[in-house]
């Protein structure tokens, strides 16, 4: 089968990592040639639109679809009475591939607001939409669904492994300064530009699915399990994804049902979620309640951390982001107690959303650090530097590299931290109080099993193919750059194929894992290719290498040994009677073996996270924010932000900078705007559109700058790269809250920060 392949059209020669290469898929996107999932129209295709429950909890008492069936173009209506029956799949957190275990259209129970209750099939999209609007469903309502964290905590249970180090009670009791506070982060939804969509086409036993995906292999295998078919018959295609942020990592119930219905219809079926449905089709970020206690001695050295974090989950799945567990790695606490609890709610199962644990977790922790620094009378930057950790305090293992102090120092210098107002309301600009804030950022290095096919032909052209993903982050380009680095060829000579489940199992696009994982696999493939060429070179009339030669590398058109001997690859191929050489490089998660690779190929999310070769591996950063708070209206403006990061080798400074700026801008929106509102009387989310679910936009555009420190972490992988995608958002909301406190003297412990939080003395 022919797979989509892209080569750069950039005229300037780019070779290897660390070079600012323009996106090789850029022209296809801006000219409209890039085909996203919903752009595919198989022959004889029909459309489907789901009707969703307007109630939060109840039972379907009856469905009247007679009028719908009379709409011109409507072909069939599926409900729980006639839809295909499906077995509950395992969730991602349970080692499976599904966003949640509860499938749709299986019974009369309404378990959460927005749950699909019918699927209208029609020859045209307009007819399907009309049918979904006009179908009549009677409900027996129960109590209002619960979507909030219970204030009395009666519905919360311990979840996950607690972290216990030392004697926290003694550490807090002996502290010269102490802070005990509760912080809240809200429910949030991903809202990628591209909605959730599935186009399913069966050809006999073989299913082709056009689906925006962060985990092609997982979706392929998950579908095979639920649909009871051979995995070799499932083909998932997703070369371009219009944003995901965690929402497209797992197989959704709507995706499964769409494929099952298409099989029953015997015709290709396309379903595209409306923006309202995007709030319940996939997962969301759970609200979090973070009870944090910190202490330090009279010298400002930390004595203890206690963190208790509550999240919500669905009635049918236990899924936690384990926010509390992300906190201990930040500073040198001698005593630690970190625990997570799950609270059952009437919602779909929550899941991953950009830095799932760190985004809410660092809001609570970094605000608490500022509050404690203020009590101790120590500058917030100095307080963090003073308490830097050389080893992970919970695991008691060394960090592979940790340039957090350097990020803080460089950021303070570049931002002008020395000019920070010493007292609240002491500096004004145009009728607004000015404040500066800082927060540290961290994201653990996650490595996915990964396989890559690498080919080098007689003309020196390279092909690299893997079932990896590009969510709009620039992965098409970075895959080519990694191959360019490992083979010593210009990027212009590399053709890249990704986004197809028929390719070798590629890295999962989650947890900022893709680049670090691909570096390992492509490097392994390049080494295997070099060894194979060295073996073939013995067939040459005058073999260029002797028994003492080893450490072979491909450097452009030549094979080179460590001792400096070399031979043209074209001559080696000619002697071997080959026009090209192809190899596969496969690397398991760190510390794992072949079983890990096989499990991943079967769709299990067999990832390795944070601990590699006896080291704690992570990316670090420091984020600085200036705010201006109007004295009279208390509106908050953020005129500038700076992020300084250390994330190993930066594959492409151009796309990496875009990642950081985008992440920081999202952090601005997360800190000041984003919140999914709840109508507690009905148990529903109410702002299910982009008019009322507020996100940062052009009007909020500000001066944002980012900088990467030089770092090469060989523990992470042979090319020294770590993950960066999640890092940019992590510390922003805390830095904003800290800056608002510096400006106004008012400490806000709940997101989003709004002017009504600052009106206590207006």
pLDDT of residue 145: 78
**Average pLDDT over the chain, rounded to an integer:** 96
CA angle, 192 then 196 then 202, to 5°: 150
Overall average pLDDT of the 475-496 stretch: 97
pLDDT of residue 44: 98
CA angle, 212 then 215 then 218, to 5°: 120
pLDDT of residue 151: 65
Which tokens is 52 given? 């969703």
Which backbone phi and psi does 276 adopt, to 5 degrees?
A: -60, -45
pLDDT of residue 148: 84
**Strand pairing partners for 74?**
122
pLDDT over 90 at 577, yes or no = yes
The structure tokens 């990027």 sit at: 491
Overall average pLDDT of the 5-13 stretch: 92
* Cα gap 298→276, rounded to integer Å: 53
pLDDT of residue 1: 58
For residue 110, what are the CA distances in angstroms to 101, 114, 118, 142, 664?
A: 15, 9, 12, 10, 38
pLDDT over 70 at 259, yes or no = yes
Which tokens is 538 given? 């013995």
Residues 6+ apart with CB under 8 A from 379: 373
pLDDT of residue 298: 98
pLDDT of residue 424: 97
pLDDT over 90 at 234, yes or no = yes
pLDDT of residue 2: 77
Q: Fill in the DSSP letter of residue 93.
A: G
Packing angle of the helix pair 253-265, 216-227 (nearest 10 deg): 50
pLDDT over 70 at 762, yes or no = no
Confidence bin at 497 (pLDDT 50/70/90): very high
Task: Classify residue 348 as exposed, middle or buried by CB count within 10 Å of its CB (0-12, 13-18, 19+).
Answer: buried
Residue 198 in contact with residue 37, Cβ under 8 Å? yes
CA angle, 665 then 668 then 673, to 5°: 125
Q: Domain 357-445+612-758 is in which class?
A: alpha beta
Which tokens is 368 given? 């608490």
What are the percentages of helix, strand and coil residues in the chain, rounded to 5? 30, 30, 45
Catalytic entry in 311, 374, 527, 726: 726
H or E element at residue 475: helix 475-487
- Picking from 211, 214, 294, the residue whose alpha carbon sits closest to that of residue 250 is 214
pLDDT over 80 at 87, yes or no = yes
pLDDT of residue 605: 86
Residue 295 in contact with residue 175, Cβ under 8 Å? yes
Which tokens is 395 given? 């695991």
Residues 6+ apart with CB under 8 A from 426: none
Overall average pLDDT of the 246-257 stretch: 97
Overall average pLDDT of the 215-222 stretch: 96
pLDDT of residue 660: 97
Which tokens is 199 given? 């186009």
pLDDT tens digits for range 507-529: 999 999 999 999 999 999 999 99
Residue 347 in contact with residue 112, Cβ under 8 Å? yes
Structural domain boundaries of the chain? Answer: 26-34+447-604, 357-445+612-758
pLDDT of residue 154: 73
Residue 110 in contact with residue 139, Cβ under 8 Å? yes
Question: What length is written for the chain?
Answer: 762
* Cα gap 269→272, rounded to integer Å: 10
Q: Fill in the DSSP letter of residue 727.
A: G
At residue 300, the 3 state secondary structure works out as: coil
Strands 494-497 and 462-465 turn out to be parallel
Same fold, 26-34+447-604 and 357-445+612-758: yes
pLDDT tens digits for range 44-62: 999 999 999 999 999 999 9
* Cα gap 608→590, rounded to integer Å: 6
Share of the chain above pLDDT 90, in %: 93
pLDDT of residue 697: 86
Residue 680 annotated as catalytic: no
pLDDT of residue 606: 85
- Measure CA 569 to chain center: 40
CATH number of 26-34+447-604: 3.30.365.10
Which tokens is 198 given? 């599935």
Residues 6+ apart with CB under 8 A from 746: 424, 740, 757, 758, 760
Across 606-622, b (16+ Cβ under 10 Å) vs e yields bbbbbbbeebbbbbbbb
In this structure, what is the dihedral angle of CA atoms 648, 649, 650, 652, given to the nearest 10 degrees?
Answer: -160
* Cα gap 561→659, rounded to integer Å: 38
* Cα gap 356→296, rounded to integer Å: 28
Residue 227 in contact with residue 336, Cβ under 8 Å? no
**Does residue 443 have a cis bond before it (omega within 30 degrees)?**
no
Residues 6+ apart with CB under 8 A from 593: none
* Cα gap 726→733, rounded to integer Å: 14
At residue 606, the 3 state secondary structure works out as: coil
For residue 273, what are the CA distances in angstroms to 40, 84, 196, 228?
A: 15, 20, 5, 25
Overall average pLDDT of the 34-38 stretch: 97
pLDDT tens digits for range 135-194: 999 999 888 878 888 766 777 899 999 999 999 999 999 999 999 999 999 999 999 999
Residue 591 in contact with residue 612, Cβ under 8 Å? yes
* Cα gap 271→121, rounded to integer Å: 9
- Picking from 648, 730, 605, 607, the residue whose alpha carbon sits closest to that of residue 94 is 605
pLDDT of residue 629: 98
Overall average pLDDT of the 293-306 stretch: 99
Overall average pLDDT of the 298-315 stretch: 98
pLDDT over 80 at 285, yes or no = yes
* Cα gap 223→220, rounded to integer Å: 5
* Cα gap 456→483, rounded to integer Å: 11
């Amino acid at each position: 089968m022919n797979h989509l392949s892209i080569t750069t059209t950039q005229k300037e020669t780019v070779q290897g990592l660390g070079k600012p290469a323009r996106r090789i898929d850029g022209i296809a996107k801006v000219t409209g040639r890039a085909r996203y999932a919903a752009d595919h129209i198989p022959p004889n295709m029909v459309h489907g639109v789901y009707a969703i429950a307007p109630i939060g909890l109840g039972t379907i008492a009856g469905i009247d679809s007679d009028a719908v069936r009379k709409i011109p173009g409507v072909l069939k209506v599926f409900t729980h009475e006639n839809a295909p029956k499906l077995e509950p799949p395992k969730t991602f957190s349970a080692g499976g591939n599904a966003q949640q275990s509860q499938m749709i259209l299986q019974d009369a129970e309404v378990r959460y607001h927005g749950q699909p209750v019918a699927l209208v099939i029609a020859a045209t999209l307009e007819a399907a939409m009309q049918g979904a609007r006009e179908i009549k469903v009677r409900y027996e309502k129960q109590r209002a669904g619960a979507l909030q964290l219970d204030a009395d905590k009666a519905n919360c249970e311990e979840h996950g492994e607690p972290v216990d180090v030392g004697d926290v009670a003694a550490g807090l009791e002996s502290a010269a300064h102490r802070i005990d506070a509760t912080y809240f982060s809200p429910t949030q939804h991903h809202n990628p530009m591209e909605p959730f969509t599935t186009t399913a086409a069966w050809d006999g036993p073989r299913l082709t699915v056009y689906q925006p995906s962060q985990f092609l292999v997982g979706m392929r295998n998950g579908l095979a399990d639920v649909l009871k078919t051979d995995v070799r018959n499932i083909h998932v295609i997703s070369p371009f994804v219009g944003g995901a942020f965690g929402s497209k990592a797992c197989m959704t119930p709507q995706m499964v049902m769409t494929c099952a219905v298409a099989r029953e219809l015997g015709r290709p079926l396309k379903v595209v979620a409306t923006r309202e449905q995007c709030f319940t089709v996939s997962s969301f970020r759970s609200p979090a309640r973070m009870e944090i206690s910190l202490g330090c001695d009279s010298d400002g050295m930390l004595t203890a951390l206690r963190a208790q974090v509550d999240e919500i989950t669905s009635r049918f799945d236990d899924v936690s982001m384990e926010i509390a567990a992300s906190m201990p790695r930040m500073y040198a606490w001698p005593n630690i107690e970190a625990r997570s609890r799950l609270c059952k709610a009437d919602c779909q199962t929550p899941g991953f959303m950009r830095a799932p644990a760190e985004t809410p977790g660092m809001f609570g922790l970094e605000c608490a650090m500022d509050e404690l620094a203020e009590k101790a009378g120590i500058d917030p930057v100095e307080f963090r530097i003073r308490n830097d950790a050389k080893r992970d305090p919970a695991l008691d293992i060394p960090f592979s590299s940790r340039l957090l102090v350097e990020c803080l120092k460089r950021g303070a210098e570049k931002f002008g931290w020395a000019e920070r107002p010493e007292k609240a309301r002491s500096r004004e600009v145009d009728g607004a109080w000015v404040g500066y804030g800082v927060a540290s950022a961290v994201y653990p290095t996650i490595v996915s099993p990964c396989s890559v096919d690498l080919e080098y032909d007689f003309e020196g052209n390279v092909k690299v193919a893997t079932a990896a993903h590009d969510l709009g982050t620039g992965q098409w380009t970075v895959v080519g750059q990694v191959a360019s680095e490992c083979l010593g060829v210009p990027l212009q000579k590399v053709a890249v194929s990704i986004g197809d489940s028929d390719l070798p199992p590629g890295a999962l696009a989650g947890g900022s894992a893709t680049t670090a994982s691909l570096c390992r696999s492509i490097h392994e493939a390049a080494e295997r290719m070099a060894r194979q060429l060295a073996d073939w070179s013995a067939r040459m009339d005058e073999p260029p290498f002797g028994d003492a030669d080893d450490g072979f590398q491909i450097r452009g058109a030549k094979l080179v040994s460590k001792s400096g001997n070399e031979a043209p690859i074209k001559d080696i191929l000619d002697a071997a009677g080959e026009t090209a050489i192809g190899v596969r490089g496969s690397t398991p998660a760190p510390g794992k073996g072949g079983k890990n690779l096989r499990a991943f190929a079967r769709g299990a999310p067999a990832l390795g996270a944070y601990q590699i070769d006896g080291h704690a591996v992570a990316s670090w950063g420091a984020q600085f924010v200036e705010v201006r708070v109007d004295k009279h209206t208390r509106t908050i403006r953020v005129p500038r932000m700076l992020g300084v990061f250390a994330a190993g080798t930066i594959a492409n400074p151009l796309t990496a900078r875009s990642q950081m700026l985008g992440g920081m801008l999202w952090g601005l929106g997360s800190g000041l705007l984003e919140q999914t509102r709840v109508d507690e009387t009905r148990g529903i989310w109410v702002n299910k559109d982009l008019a009322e679910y507020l996100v940062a936009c052009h009007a909020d555009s500000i001066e944002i700058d980012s900088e990467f420190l030089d770092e090469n972490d060989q523990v992470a992988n042979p090319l020294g790269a770590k993950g960066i995608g999640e890092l940019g958002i992590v510390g922003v909301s805390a830095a904003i809250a800290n800056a608002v406190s510096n400006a106004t003297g008012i400490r806000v412990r709940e997101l989003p920060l709004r002017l009504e939080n600052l009106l206590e003395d207006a």
